[in-house]
Amino acid sequence: MDALTLDANELTSQIKNGSVSAEDYVARILDRVKKVENTVHSYITLNDHAIEEARKIDKMVKSGERTGRLAGVPVAVKDNICTRGLRTTCASKMLEDYVPPYNATVIDKLQHEGAIILGKTNLDEFAMGSTTEFSNFGPTKNPWDISRVPGGSSGGSAASLAAAEATLALGSDTGGSIRCPASFCSVVGLKPTYGLVSRFGLVSFANSLELIGPMGRSTDDVALMLSCIAGRDSMDHTTLDVDNMDYTSKIKQGIKGVKIGIVKEMISDGVDDVVAKTVHDAANKLESLGASIEEISINSLQYALASYYTIAMAEVSSNLARYDGIRYGLNMNPEGFAWNAYYTKARSNFGSEVKRRIMIGTYVLSSGYYGKYYLKAQQVRTLMRQELAGIFKKLDLLIAPTMPVVPFKIGEKIDEPLKMYMADIDTVIANLTGVPAISVPCAFKDHLPIGLQILGNHLSEELLLRAAYAFEQVNDVKKVVDV
């Protein structure tokens, strides 16, 4: 297994100097996938052309052609990111046979850098959930303890990394969906600044909150992958005017003199004692690296979950309206049905969590309640942005737990949606305010992973990655496990 856990950078170098063949490496990873999938179930669909594509990279290496920064690197892609010719299901029955006619911008960018798309990973249906249990294709298991959830909604991507089924992975993060599974699976996951990475081809759940982000087994890898996918995209008007970023070059510069705040509310009420303690320990380590640490409060945090779920569900109710079984996706045979009756029949195939969110979202947008819910939630969002902007005038970074608890047992929260929503308390703030946040492996309680979350100001990814890298150097925890 150890031979299959090379860093992306190392792997690409070896492929480029001929000491490893991409074809061979991909084939071995696929063998590994075959071996562990019955247990872990990271993937929904594998790319049948992966080996062929790897062979092409080898040929290009031999003929001296440009192969890119990720030449031959096997990448797992969350199955809500469109891949041309490769089934993209969103883990939903509504799209179980849907094959997109186009690539998401991030997929084009990765392939331009020579990456091999290994397959499409499991998620909660349409990315709604924190456990990857709400998948039409069955749950993904946490490789560290297969009786537990891998987190979600990018659970398949995180598990594939922890189980050595891929070198890099793409996730998407609407309220913590990259960071939560990164934390639960002891891997690194970054939610970039809103607008830094193109959403074109990411199937929308709550489009004002979410972004695609890189996941890997090291901060270095995450920085490399971010460098490859970041930047302005003419296909997404919400992308920022940023281009040709290199997040790897300054990653080793350390964090001497960096001012870090530790968020009081995130390490007090409702937080697992062990989790709180590991964050304090992490703070001490960061301090020993030359950073200064102070405790700070985010007053508007008490409204964060209410605001987040109101906005997210409102957007869900509109974004998912297009799945009506008429133009694409599940065809329920409209013969003999009037429009509304057919909509009812086709749309009953959403899973229970998706239905719940569509209904709540429809309610909060309805004319009598818009001002009471949606508008209020947006006001909270503005308030939170202002408060955070004030904090980042004084401080460079914030630290907090990624998740207030260790991974749940499978089935533990499935019938208690409110308890499940509560677990997002520490992650949603980055989505509501658009700032970047990373989860890095921090510690294990018994055999269960705990992640450290670092948040930064808008477009502070370079500093964020520098801090995560510095922490990683003094905090060696396992990132891969044999299942």
Partner 1 sequence: MSVKIGLEIHCQLTSLKTKLFCSCSADYRGKDPNTNVCPICMGLPGTLPLLNKKALEYATMISLVLNSKTPSTAAFYRKNYFYPDLPKNFQITQYNAHEITSIGFDGVVEYDSKKVRIRRIQLEEDPGRLVYEGSMETSLYTLVDYNRAGVALVEIVTEPDFEDPKDVRLFLNKLASILEHLGVCDTRLEGSVRCDVNVSLAGGRKVEIKNIGSFSEAEKAIMFEISRQKSVGMKGMEVRSETRHWDDTRRVTIQSRVKEEEQDYRYFPEPDIPAVNFDNELIQTLKKRMPELPDARKSRFVERFGLSEQVAQVLINDKYLADFFEEGAKLYENAREVANWIVTDLKGYTDEFDGIRSLRIKPVHIVELAKLVDQSIISRTTAKQILQEIVKSGEMPSQVAKRLNATQISDEKSLTGIIDDVFESEKSAVKDALQNENTVNFLLGKVMQSTKGRADPKLALELIRKKLASIT
Give the chain's length.
483
- The question of whether 135 is a catalytic residue gets the answer no
Contact 307, 381 (CB under 8 A): yes
Q: Residue 258 and residue 414: Cα distance in Å, rounded?
A: 41
Minimum distance of partner 1 from residue 322's CB (angstroms): 5
Among 184, 343, 408, 469, binds partner 1 (CB under 8 A): 343
Q: Which of 42, 92, 135, 153 is catalytic?
A: 153
Minimum distance of partner 1 from residue 200's CB (angstroms): 6
Helix H or strand E encompassing 173 = strand 168-173
- Candidate ranges 5-13, 28-36, 291-299, 359-367; the one touching partner 1 (CB under 8 A): 359-367
Q: What 3-state DSSP class applies to 369? A: coil
Minimum distance of partner 1 from residue 204's CB (angstroms): 7
Dihedral of the alpha carbons of 377, 381, 387, 390, in degrees to the nearest 10: -160
- The question of whether 109 is a catalytic residue gets the answer no
Among 15, 50, 185, 203, binds partner 1 (CB under 8 A): 203
Decide: is 17 part of the binding site for partner 1 (CB under 8 A).
no
Backbone angles phi, psi at 144, to 5 degrees: -80, -20
Decide: is 205 part of the binding site for partner 1 (CB under 8 A).
no
Decide: is 317 part of the binding site for partner 1 (CB under 8 A).
yes
Minimum distance of partner 1 from residue 202's CB (angstroms): 6
> Which residues, including other chains, have CB under 8 Å from residue 351's CB and lie 6 or more apart?
92, 93, 125, 134, 136
Decide: is 315 part of the binding site for partner 1 (CB under 8 A).
yes
Decide: is 10 part of the binding site for partner 1 (CB under 8 A).
no
Decide: is 201 part of the binding site for partner 1 (CB under 8 A).
yes
Q: Which of 78, 93, 141, 413 is catalytic?
A: 78
Two tokens, residue 226: 């971010």
Q: Which is nearer to partner 1, 90 or 423 (CB)?
A: 90
3-state helix, strand, coil in the chain (%, to 5): 40, 15, 45
Which among 433, 422, 423, 480 has a CA at the least distance from the CA of 456?
Answer: 433
Q: Which of 177, 198, 300, 307 is catalytic?
A: 177
Minimum distance of partner 1 from residue 287's CB (angstroms): 39
Helix H or strand E encompassing 439 = strand 437-445
**Chain centroid to CA 366:** 31
Q: Residue 177 and residue 181: Cα distance in Å, rounded?
A: 7
Size of the site for partner 1 (CB under 8 A): 44
Q: Residue 436 and residue 196: Cα distance in Å, rounded?
A: 9
DSSP string, 13-26: HHHHTTSS-HHHHH
Q: Which is nearer to partner 1, 254 or 334 (CB)?
A: 334
Decide: is 81 part of the binding site for partner 1 (CB under 8 A).
yes
Q: Residue 265 and residue 426: Cα distance in Å, rounded?
A: 9
- Candidate ranges 96-104, 132-140, 159-167, 439-447; the one touching partner 1 (CB under 8 A): 96-104
Q: Which is nearer to partner 1, 162 or 196 (CB)?
A: 196
Decide: is 321 part of the binding site for partner 1 (CB under 8 A).
yes
DSSP secondary structure code for residue 193 in this structure: P
Q: Residue 42 and residue 1: Cα distance in Å, rounded?
A: 17
Among 5, 13, 14, 207, binds partner 1 (CB under 8 A): 207
Decide: is 345 part of the binding site for partner 1 (CB under 8 A).
no
Decide: is 379 part of the binding site for partner 1 (CB under 8 A).
no
Q: Which is nearer to partner 1, 11 or 91 (CB)?
A: 91
Instruction: Give me Rg for the CA atoms of the chain.
Output: 21
- Candidate ranges 141-149, 270-278, 318-326, 458-466; the one touching partner 1 (CB under 8 A): 318-326
- The question of whether 78 is a catalytic residue gets the answer yes
**What is the identity of the amino acid at 449?**
P
Q: How many CA atoms lie within 13 A of 62 on its CB side?
A: 10
Residue 120 β-bridge partners: 45, 77
Minimum distance of partner 1 from residue 332's CB (angstroms): 14
Decide: is 370 part of the binding site for partner 1 (CB under 8 A).
yes
- Which amino acids are annotated catalytic? 78, 153, 177
**Interacting residues toward partner 1 by CB under 8 A:** 80-82, 88, 90, 95, 98, 100-102, 104, 199-204, 207-208, 234-238, 314-315, 317-318, 321-322, 324, 326-328, 339-340, 343, 362, 365-367, 370, 374-375
